Structures are given as structure tokens and as C-alpha cells.
Structure 1
Amino acid sequence: MQETTLEGGFADAPRDAAHAFRACMNAMARPGRIETLRGATPPAPLSQAAGTLLLTLCDADTPVHLAGAHDCNAVRQWLAFHTGAPLAHARTDATFAIGVWDALLPLSDYPIGTARYPDRSATLVVEMDSLTATDARLTGPGIADSAALSLPDIAALRANHALFPQGLDFYFTAGEHLAALPRSTNVEDA
């Protein structure tokens, strides 16, 4: 096992994990709100926020699909060592998936839950160049009036919302920033 595999986890695991969990939950509870998420130093191409999110939410019961450039030896070994999460080689088996937007497509390959068990769906972690409060107008639970967030494909995310209560949930990460878009959020052009 390479030395880099052993590095990059939480320095103070209980405290760092608690802070990261709170930021992840705040982001999901308040769609469009950009949170700062740090604590991990993962290998490239994972951003700090994406690595911290994976350390916080993934474990041996959450298969992770690595898409595109994120499916590399350094990320596979780091994820296995720090979380114990198995790799989901088929998108249909993923609880989490991570990559850039184009590498994660098509969204129809991921589980969206069932009418009886809508919680049996995937959460996609979309790595972005930046996150800004622009481009898309968000409304729905957790948003007082409306929020704005830069999103990669408004039409695809609007179609995902139409599947509610089924559908995918999303985290968007860039550097040390994180925002979330649950399936319950309505997405419109700004």
C-alpha cells in the first residue's frame, strides 16, 4: 500500500467527521446554500470537499461508483482504506457515484428508488470547477423564497425532480465548497 493511501484522512476524526456531517446535512436541508467542507486531503482528482464528503457518508454498506478520471488507482485505494466502501462497477449498484457531470451521464443508469422504497436511490457527487449562486432558480422544501445555484444541466435536473418521490439526490463540489440539490427541489432557469 502506498504511503499516499494512508494519508489524507481526518486529522481529528471525531471532531472533523462531526463538522463535516453537519455541513453535508445543512447543504441538503438548505438546497442551493454553499457550505465550506474541509478536513480531508484526498488524492487528485478528488476535490477537498468531495473527499471529505466521501469520508463522512461512505462506509462498507455504501457501494461507490467512480466515473471517468475519478476511477483511478489512487482514488480506489484511498477510498477503500479510509472508508471501506466497496466499488460499484455497475452504476445500477451504486449508492454513491462521483465524477464530473459528463462522466456521470446518463442519469437513467442509477437507481432512483421505488414507489415503496424511494430512499433506495443513488446520490451523485458532481465535481465542478466552481460553485456560484447563479444560473438556476431553486424552490421547494428548505428554501424560504428561492435560491440560486450554478448547475451543469437545468433540464436534466428538472426532469429528475419530476420523478419525486423517486429520483436522485445531488451534491456539487468545487475545491472546499459544497452545495446540495435533493430531488424534492424544483429547478428553473434563472
Structure 2
Amino acid sequence: MAAQSQIYAGAFADPVFQAQSVFRTLMDGFARPGTITSLAATASPPLPLGKASGAVALTLCDHDTPVWLSLALTKSAVPQWIAFHTGAPVTETKDDARFAFIEKGGAVPSFDQFALGTQEYPDRSTTLVIEVEALTGGSKLIAKGPGIKDETIVAPQGLPDPFLDFWTDNRAIFPRGIDLILTAGDAVLCLPRTTKLSAREA
């Protein structure tokens, strides 16, 4: 019974209003890459999916958006929770997914394993949602590109060691490529494929 209650509980209390609020926050985040924003509405999904990642799933996923989940999420009640509250099908094939979710500390595949879109339809790509330890306090990266005046510094904690290589390869195939949402607690940091990242010299 406890497992069943996990599946049915934890969604938005006011789905339309709260989903609209989260959507606006995410769109603003993609318009201003590297900005850390707290979500006004969060979810309480089954562990190990985090609150902000759960809110992203409730807002962006629907029956037309196949979802890929990391192994730990697949083995939890998360697939049933997402299916019940959003109708989104779960796929085992990364490049079929419109959205992909990885829990905090989970292994992050190289980004080229996901759907990268095509030259004609670059929007047919995966948006990758990764929960990290924190959105500040990590190794500093310089972010430049549309929506950023001059440059800004992003420093998430808990990114995989090859993250910068993954991102550089992703940026090189623009307009194709994935978009990235980093989450921690109730906060998000968005990085569209247009953003260029480089290591900041100590």
C-alpha cells in the first residue's frame, strides 16, 4: 500500500496554476542561462527523484513525450509516478526520449547518446534533467552566449568529471544538441545548447 500511495501522491495541488508557474520559471531560465532560480511550486515524487526534477516532469512531460530514466530511477516508483501524473511513456532507448532524468549522484551518459535533433528539426532533441549536489560551490565555469551579458560564472557541485568535454562536443554541433536543466533542492539552472562553457583559470 505504501508503494501505491507513492505513485498517486506528491503531484501539484493546483496543477494548472503551478505548472504554469514552473513553465514560466524554466523559460526565463533558458532565456537567461546560468541564472539560479527557485521554483515557486515543487513536487514530492518518490525517491530518488528530487523535488525540482519532479516539478519539471509534471510541467513538461505528457503522453507525447517519451521519458528516459537512469537505472536507479527505473528501479523505483518513479516510472509509475510519472506515467500516472503525466501520461508520459518511459523508454529504455535514450535517443527516443524527449526528456531524460538522472538522480543526484547518478551516472551521466555522454550527451551524444541522446536525441540531438536534425539540421531541419533541431528541436527534436532530448532535454536532459540532472539533479546535482548544489548549484553553487563547484568548479567555476565561464558561460557566454545569447541571454548572457558578456559572461557569467556557473559552478554546480556534483557534475561528472567529463562534463565540460560532453558540453563542448554538444555545443559544436549547434543548432543540433541537447538542452540541460540542472536541479538541486527546489532550484533550477538552465543551460541551452547555445551557451558556451569554458573552465575558469584558478
Is the shorter-chain TM-score for this pair beyond 0.5, marking a shared fold?
A: yes
> What is residue 96 of structure 1 aligned with on the other side?
99
Percent identical among aligned pairs is 42
> What is residue 187 of structure 1 aligned with on the other side?
197
> What is residue 119 of structure 1 aligned with on the other side?
123
Amino acid across the alignment from 1:145: D
Q: Aligned-pair RMSD on alpha carbons?
A: 1.6
> What is residue 177 of structure 1 aligned with on the other side?
187
Unaligned runs of 5+ in 1: none
Aligned length: 190
**TM-score for both structures, normalised by structure 2:** 0.89
CA distance in 1: counterparts of 2:117 and 2:93, whole angstroms: 16
CA distance in 2: counterparts of 1:40 and 1:120, whole angstroms: 27
Shift of 1:102: 5.4
Residues 73 and 102 in structure 2, CA contact (< 8 A), matched pair in contact too: yes
**Secondary structure of 2:59 counterpart:** helix
> What is residue 79 of structure 2 aligned with on the other side?
76
Q: Show CA shifts across 1:80-129 (max 9, x none).
A: 11100000111121111111475231322111011111111111001101
> What is residue 67 of structure 2 aligned with on the other side?
64
More displaced 10-residue stretch of structure 1: 125-134 or 163-172: 125-134
Runs of 4+ in 1 over 3 A off after TM superposition: none
> What is residue 7 of structure 2 aligned with on the other side?
5
> What is residue 14 of structure 1 aligned with on the other side?
16
CA distance in 2: counterparts of 1:120 and 1:18, whole angstroms: 22
Unaligned runs of 5+ in 2: none
1:40 equivalent to 2:43? Answer yes
**TM-score for both structures, normalised by structure 1:** 0.94
CA distance in 1: counterparts of 2:106 and 2:79, whole angstroms: 20
CA distance in 1: counterparts of 2:22 and 2:33, whole angstroms: 17
Residues 11 and 39 in structure 1, CA contact (< 8 A), matched pair in contact too: no
